[in-house]
Structure 1
């Protein structure tokens, strides 16, 4: 039988089976509404900008510029931020 399961439900089921982290509805809704992923995940992790900057080894003004939508951040910076947040780099784009 061919599955007609919604692709999002299938992806969720696969993530659960692979023991991947899932996020609550309020996080997903913020991302769907177009909020900057870095800010959403930083706040979800309960980190102040300065704390994330310290953990990631980047300047606070770089984080502020990304969160304000004034910069996309270099791949190196985004990778450092993702690692500090326990995420994959793709989660921040």
Structure 2
């Protein structure tokens, strides 16, 4: 995975979110307090979109590198359903 790819996707999500927020705040007929709330919500949703984009790109890169289910992961050792108490 290229960090440049990750950075471009996350930055793209951020730019798109902020652009949509600016357009909506400018177009919606709201009071100044309403515009402030709309801007705050837009910024929070932009941060969420950036996080989702980052997680999706990272998960895709991990799956490409290691496959869907790593064969040598934690908890793979002889799980026969016994709890070890007796």
Coarse TM-score class (shorter-chain normalised): under 0.3
- The higher radius of gyration belongs to 2
Q: Tell me: higher relative CO, structure 1 or 2? Use CA pairs within 8 A at least 6 residues apart.
A: 2
So what's the TM-score if we normalise by structure 1? 0.23
The structure that is helix-richer by fraction is 2
